[in-house]
């Protein structure tokens, strides 16, 4: 299968009054057509910035400094805003972690969906409203005809997210970027939303990148997983391979934390050190928290290199970690 999306060495930074803060430090990740990829990382690892960068949406003070985003072989970052407009919402679509904030508060939901429909096709208004009603029904909103006339503030958080998903799937997109679609939603609704998204994507053969803080979610709904830490992808693997033998100490930590939470056990090995800070010094960013770091880790940056076919990690000791001999 041809590679659908390939992000190469993406660097991005935030330039504010306090100086330059690196946010993406060389992201390498990709997926093939028809695949589902989950990107896992803590808050501050740069997940949302990555997703927005892929569509060329970053605006000052955020800036892309280096790298390429190849979609179907073409670099999206080299395209003009007008060219990108033809891609966004039509070929690649986006959802957001805060659905209500991203809907126009003064416009009816139906009108907003129709605007997205008419932005990329010549559909007549009447037909557009009919299609909008279909979309609302497809995302599981009851009484869709009446809901077309609702305003965002009249909808619950879950329903707003469904509307966002409807807007993302209005056109037959080839890739859906789902940025933390269940943030702020309670467990039952989250489950429904994820199931919905999964079904829709499978039925329409859309590829999916699911960004989440929850490893369990990624494990359940995705074929492949990519772990993000401090603005870099530190490991990519298929989900079975990942859980059988993750090759990066941070991945191991995430797995431990996820299983401890699931089993409601207290987490045995606590990791010392601060929360994620974008790497500015040389060396592996995880070195300060890593239980198996040695001298080389602090002075040299490990690259994301394949361990096996389809399994890559950026760790000097990846083979040992994967085999479970250390850092387990």
Residues within window 30-59 making contact with another protein, judged by CB under 8 A: 44, 48-49, 52, 55, 57
Of 40, 14, 108, 28, nearest to 302 by C-alpha is: 28
CB of 307 to another protein, least distance (A): 31
Q: Which stretch binds another protein (CB under 8 A): 99-107, 125-133, 243-251, 310-318?
A: 99-107
Q: Which residue stretches of 99-171 are H helix?
A: 109-120, 125-138, 144-147, 157-168
Nearer to another protein, 106 or 272 (CB): 106
| Helix, strand, coil share of the chain (percent; to 5) | 40, 25, 40
Whether residue 310 contacts residue 254, with contact meaning beta carbons closer than 8 Å, is answered with no
Q: Considering only residues 24, 93, 175, 227, which one is a binding residue for another protein as defined by CB under 8 A?
A: 93
Q: Considering only residues 1, 2, 80, 105, which one is a binding residue for another protein as defined by CB under 8 A?
A: 105
Peptide bond into 247 cis (omega under 30): no
CB of 5 to another protein, least distance (A): 16
285 binds another protein, rule: CB under 8 A: no
Nearer to another protein, 81 or 309 (CB): 81
161 binds another protein, rule: CB under 8 A: no
CB of 328 to another protein, least distance (A): 32
Of 173, 213, 183, 44, nearest to 102 by C-alpha is: 183
**DSSP summary character for residue 169:** T
Helices and strands of the chain, counted as H and E runs: 12, 12
Q: Please, what sign has the CA dihedral across residues 188, 193, 199, 201?
A: negative
Check residue 150 and give left, alpha or beta (phi > 0: left; psi -120 to 50: alpha).
beta
| DSSP bridge partners of 64 | 12
Rounded to whole angstroms, the Cα distance separating 192 from 281 reads 42
Nearer to another protein, 102 or 213 (CB): 102
Contacts of 99 (CB under 8 A, 6+ apart): 157, 160, 161, 163, 164
Nearer to another protein, 164 or 313 (CB): 164
Q: Considering only residues 104, 204, 280, 299, which one is a binding residue for another protein as defined by CB under 8 A?
A: 104
By CB under 8 A, the count of residues binding another protein is 42
Whether residue 258 contacts residue 216, with contact meaning beta carbons closer than 8 Å, is answered with yes
102 binds another protein, rule: CB under 8 A: yes
Q: Which stretch binds another protein (CB under 8 A): 79-87, 122-130, 192-200, 248-256?
A: 79-87
101 binds another protein, rule: CB under 8 A: yes
CB of 156 to another protein, least distance (A): 14
CB of 60 to another protein, least distance (A): 11
Contacts of 123 (CB under 8 A, 6+ apart): 117, 131
Nearer to another protein, 26 or 327 (CB): 26
200 binds another protein, rule: CB under 8 A: no
**Per-residue interface string for the shown chain with another protein, residues 234-273, x marking contact by CB under 8 A:** ----------------------------------------
146 binds another protein, rule: CB under 8 A: no
Pairing mode of beta strands 207-212, 36-40: parallel
Length of the chain: 328
Which residues of this chain interact with another protein, rule CB under 8 A? 14, 16-18, 21, 23, 44, 48-49, 52, 55, 57, 62, 84-90, 93-94, 96, 98, 101-107, 115-116, 119-120, 151, 153-154, 164, 167-168, 278
């Amino acid at each position: 299968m041809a590679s659908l999306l390939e992000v190469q060495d993406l660097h991005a930074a935030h330039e504010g009054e306090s100086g330059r803060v690196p946010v993406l430090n060389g992201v390498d990740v990709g997926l093939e057509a028809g695949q589902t990829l989950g990107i896992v990382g803590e808050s501050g690892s740069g997940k949302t910035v990555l997703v927005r960068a892929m569509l060329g949406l970053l605006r000052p003070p955020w800036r892309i400094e280096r790298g390429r985003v190849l979609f179907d072989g073409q670099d999206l970052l080299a395209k003009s805003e007008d060219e990108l407009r033809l891609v966004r919402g039509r070929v690649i679509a986006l959802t957001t972690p805060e659905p209500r904030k991203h809907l126009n508060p003064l416009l009816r939901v139906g009108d907003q969906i129709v605007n997205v429909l008419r932005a990329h096709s010549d559909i007549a208004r009447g037909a557009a409203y009919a299609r909008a009603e279909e979309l609302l029904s497809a995302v599981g909103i009851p009484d869709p005809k009446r809901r077309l006339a609702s305003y965002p503030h009249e909808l619950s958080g879950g329903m707003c997210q469904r509307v966002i998903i409807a807007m993302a799937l209005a056109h037959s997109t080839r890739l859906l970027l789902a940025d933390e679609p269940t943030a702020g939603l309670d467990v039952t609704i989250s489950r429904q939303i994820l199931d919905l998204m999964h079904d829709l994507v499978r039925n329409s053969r859309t590829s999916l990148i699911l960004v989440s803080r929850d490893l369990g979610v990624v494990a359940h709904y995705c074929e492949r997983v990519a772990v993000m830490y401090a603005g870099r992808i530190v490991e990519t693997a298929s989900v079975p391979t990942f859980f059988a033998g993750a090759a990066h100490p941070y991945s191991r930590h995430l797995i431990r934390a996820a299983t401890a939470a699931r089993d409601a056990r207290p987490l045995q090995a606590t990791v010392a050190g601060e929360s994620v800070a974008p790497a500015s010094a040389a060396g592996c960013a995880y070195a300060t928290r890593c239980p198996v770091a040695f001298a080389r880790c602090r002075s040299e940056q490990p690259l994301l290199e394949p361990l096996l076919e389809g399994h890559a990690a950026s760790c000097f000791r990846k083979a040992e970690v994967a085999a479970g001999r250390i850092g387990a």
